[in-house]
Every structure is written in structure tokens, then in C-alpha cells.
Amino acid sequence: MSLTIAIPKGRLGTQAIEIFKRAGLGECIDEKSRKLVFEDKKRNLKFILLKNSDVITYVENGVADIGISGKDMVMESGGDVFELYKMNIGKCKMSVAGIKGKKIFKDDTILKVATKFPETAKKYFRGRGQRIKTIKLNGSIELAPILGLSDVIVDLVETGNTLKANGLEVFEDMYQISAMIISNKISYKFKRKEIKEIIELIRREEENGKDN
């Protein structure tokens, strides 16, 4: 049975493709070309290259059987998919940050939170009993507290360099993030063997990578 695999374009996708290729999968993928669909006829696999935030939509709707997506996207979308395997790539944290030395958590008033992840932020602060107003941004989130658009930000922090370079600091770590292999629920029912084989190859390759 054939499998369609959704891969995000960009840094995470490049790392994922490297691992797939080392595992002997998707040799046909040429990231330098403008093509978006690649077929590995030998293994009966089809790879589709998508925008990071669209991977879940394709998997949830069954156009792709499995896909690679950051845990951040999975949490934010609330997508109805199975999270099958946590990869060793795309590791970072989702954190609350703001202007260095000015930690604000107002218990009584509404905290303004700028983020790419409003749903995740709402859920997190609800759990702390903190009322918030989310401001949805699409990038350069660090600008928001500097320019007074928000009190704090909820964003991904990897090295912490972007925060530091902009006079910000982490106030609180929220979640550990990494890339996940996700699956469409029906595909997992009918193509379980094939899906498990792919995951096992990736898992083994990641294990080998650790030793080298």
C-alpha cells in the first residue's frame, strides 16, 4: 500500500529529509528544485513539501497519511491526529518572555500576550488563573513588548539569542517542543504496518545518529 508523507519546507524539513535519506527513504527528494511532490517508486512512497503550518491540515484530512510537524503546531491546531513519534530534531522550548527585569504577571488585570500561538497561550494562562488578551502575530514576536504592543510574548526559544539581542528574557518555560511524526487516524487503522515500518526506520536512524 502506498503512503503519502507530508514534510514541512524550511529548516525543520531539511533536517527531516536528511534523516529520511540516511534511513534509505525519499532519495528522490530534491529540495533545490521547485517541485512539491516527489515519488519514491521503489518504496511506494509519495512525499509532499508543504508550509509548516499546513502539514496538520493535510494529515488531518487524509491527503497525507503521515507528516512531520512541530509539537508547537500540533498543540496550537488542536488537530485530530495521532502523535506517533517524537523526533530528535526541532528541539526548543515554548516560553513566556518579556523585557529583562520587568517580569509582569498581573493577577487582577488583563495581561497582553503577543504570539503566533494564541490558542496555546490561552490554555496555558487559563490553567494559571491569569486573564489575558492575545495579539496574534506572524513573526518577529520579540518586537511586541519592546514597542509596547504587548506586556509579554509567548514564543519559541532555542538558543535564547534573539531574546538576548533584543533586551528580553524568559519569565517562564511552558512546554518542551520537538518535531513529531503525526498520522491520520484512519490511515493508522488501515496502513498501520507500513506506517510503523517507516517510524522504525527513522527511530533506528536517529539512534545511530546519536552514537556518531
Contact status, residue 6 vs residue 48, Cβ threshold 8 Å:
yes
Binding residue for ligand PRP (CB under 6 A) from 140, 167, 173, 176? 140
Only segment of 51-59, 133-141, 144-152, 198-206 that touches ligand PRP (CB under 6 A): 133-141
Question: What's the rounded Cα separation, in Å, for the pair 102 and 134?
Answer: 19
Does 127 participate in binding ligand PRP (rule CB under 6 A)? no
Does 162 participate in binding ligand PRP (rule CB under 6 A)? yes
Question: What's the rounded Cα separation, in Å, for the pair 8 and 14?
Answer: 8
Contact status, residue 154 vs residue 94, Cβ threshold 8 Å:
yes
Which position has the grid cell 488585570? 109
Residue whose CB is less far from ligand PRP, 29 or 114: 114
Only segment of 83-91, 154-162, 170-178, 192-200 that touches ligand PRP (CB under 6 A): 154-162
Angle at 135 between CA 105 and CA 52, to 5 degrees: 115
- Point out the residue whose Cβ comes nearest to ligand PRP: 139
Q: How many residues bind ligand PRP (CB under 6 A)?
A: 12
* Min dist. Cβ of residue 28 to ligand PRP (A): 28
Does 144 participate in binding ligand PRP (rule CB under 6 A)? no
Helices (H), 37-184: 55-60, 71-77, 118-127, 143-146, 161-165
Instruction: Give the binding site for ligand PRP (CB under 6 A).
Output: 139-142, 155-162
